[in-house]
Amino acid sequence: MSQKIRKTLTFGLVAGAVALATTPASAQGILKGDTGGVGSVNHTFMIIMSTVLQKKIGVNLQVNEGQTLTKSTLKLGQGKIDVSVVPPVMVPWMHKGTRFYKKRPGAAKKAINNIRLIMAYGSGVRHYLVWADSGIKTWADIKGKRIFVGPPRGGASPVAIQSIKLNSGLVNKKDYKEIRMPWNAGIQAMSDGKLDVFVRPAGVGAASIDQLGAKRKFRLLAINPNAPGMKKFIANGGRQIVRIPAGTYNNQIDNNKDVVTDGFRHQLAVRKDMSDDLVYRITKTIFDNLPEMQKSAVTLRDISLKDPFTAGNIPLHPGAIRFYKEVGKKIPANLVPGN
């Protein structure tokens, strides 16, 4: 599937698949949204959400999948799209005009001020995957190996590189061969034996992870939560220490015990100038139908009304605030626009 193909998504969700068809524009017009690659929680969430919005309130959200979220966030702030997933780690980069935005600092700073939050949510964990028969059993064994860290320009790659250094002491390009390519290409390269280590952010229980081991068993490397610098790493960008429960993956060797790893949270955001009423209805529809959405995909288990603000670092949209006040949620001061 091409990463640049835009798909109009409708509500025919059967056995986890979504039917694709052209639908008429809703009364509010067609909304455009960006999300990450197939297999990620962000992708699954956006696809199922678009289905529910169409079915329940007639809002037509066209989802452009397989996008690099550093670019998508900029597009959102520029009004080129209406909805996007925004990783918390990117927000300070945009405010400061650093990292991926250093060539266009002015545009990035302007864009981030035109984005508003609907919710923050648990969007997965990092899987540090190696083949069971590769001889790699510990972090020390990855020295000199070919390691896939993520896409060329996405925010996932620098985070993976940082985590690898904390857990192994190894430096990218010096102590191992850093490989960057699109997500789907990375999965294929790992399957073809062209990679030794595959770092993949995905929801716990993601089918894409288990499918990698359909013909060849894999091992998941556990992180060291007490490694020097790990507490600082976890405190940044909506990260947390989590466990992949024992037995989650059938094709994982030694799957009789939990695997400690780093989890992360992302944000669902919209244009600042989207109407309050529309954002209110979108927010309400998501949470009213969340149990149904979670039945469609186990990887959405960490999306909850219990903690829609944790790791959020963008001001909430007034339409979302209206919903949260209705259900009795206390709005954190740092998420109130103007504070």
Q: Dump the DSSP string for 314-329.
A: SPBPHHHHHHHHHTTP
Query: Taking the CA of residue 29 as centre, how many other CA atoms within 13 Å lie in the half-sphere pointing to its CB?
Result: 6
Supply the pLDDT for residue 183: 84
Burial 294-319 (b: 16+ CB within 10 A, else e): bebbebbebbeeebbbbbbbbbbbbb
The answer on pLDDT for 303 being more than 80 is yes
β-partners of residue 64 are: 6, 34
For 68-86, what is the mean pLDDT? 96
Provide the pLDDT confidence category of residue 211 given band limits of 50, 70 and 90.
Answer: confident
- Sketch out the chain's domains with CATH numbers: 6-123+266-335 (3.40.190.10), 124-264 (3.40.190.10)
Nearest alpha-carbon partner for 25 in 12, 10, 35: 10
pLDDT in tens, 276-297: 999 999 999 999 999 999 999 9
β-partners of residue 201 are: 126
Reading the block at residue 8, the tokens are: 């109009």
Nearest alpha-carbon partner for 59 in 35, 82, 43: 82
Tokens 């006040």: give the residue: 325
Supply the pLDDT for residue 25: 29
β-partners of residue 84 are: 34, 269
pLDDT in tens, 170-200: 999 999 999 999 888 999 999 999 999 999 9
Reading the block at residue 116, the tokens are: 């508003």
**H or E element: which one contains 284?**
helix 276-288
Supply the pLDDT for residue 9: 37
SS3 132: coil
Tokens 């989650």: give the residue: 248
pLDDT in tens, 222-266: 999 999 999 999 987 789 999 999 999 999 999 999 999 999 999
Q: Contact, 165 vs 134, CB < 8 A? A: no
Supply the pLDDT for residue 12: 35
SS3 339: coil
Supply the pLDDT for residue 2: 41
Nearest alpha-carbon partner for 1 in 65, 46, 48, 55: 65
SS3 24: coil
Q: Dump the DSSP string for 60-102.
A: EEEEE-S--HHHHHHHHHTTS-SEEEE-TTHHHHHHHT-GGGT
pLDDT in tens, 12-64: 333 333 332 333 323 447 999 999 888 789 999 999 999 999 999 999 999 99
pLDDT in tens, 112-140: 999 999 999 999 999 999 999 999 999 99
